Amino acid sequence: MNYATQLERDVMIRVRTIYFLRLLTSHRAIQAVLLTASVFFTAVIVSVPNVIHNMSRLPGFMDYLNYLYAAFMHTSFYVESSLILAVSIAIWLVVDLWRGLKPQRLLKILSGRAGRLAAM
């Protein structure tokens, strides 16, 4: 193999490694990892099928809210803290993504979507 092509390959491997590490250490990636970990921790502790089964029996929207409130208030500290962490990180991630959208880009996305809907 030629020295120049070997050098190019080595340089590109380093560039890709640095780019990948920058992606991994971005605040959005950290938020996503924390959100995934807290949701996973909650799902391990809580019996999700039982919660869904109990919620399916409720007739109205206010009954859902009352059930969720009662379930949250009568669960363990670990579940409460992991749920608070998950909701906080999710809100933080949504706000961060919303701030990242520039008004011109948001208008372009919305107008493009409206144009596609009108064409249907």
pTM over 0.75: no
53-111 pLDDT, tens digit per residue, is 888 888 888 888 888 899 889 989 988 998 899 999 999 888 887 777 766 666 676 67
Residue 70 CA to residue 1 CA, distance in Å, equals: 69
CB 51 within 8 A of CB 71: yes
DSSP state letters, 69-115? HHHHHTS-HHHHHHHHHHHHHHHHHHHHHHHHS-HHHHHHHHHHHHH
63-76 pLDDT, tens digit per residue, is 888 888 998 899 89
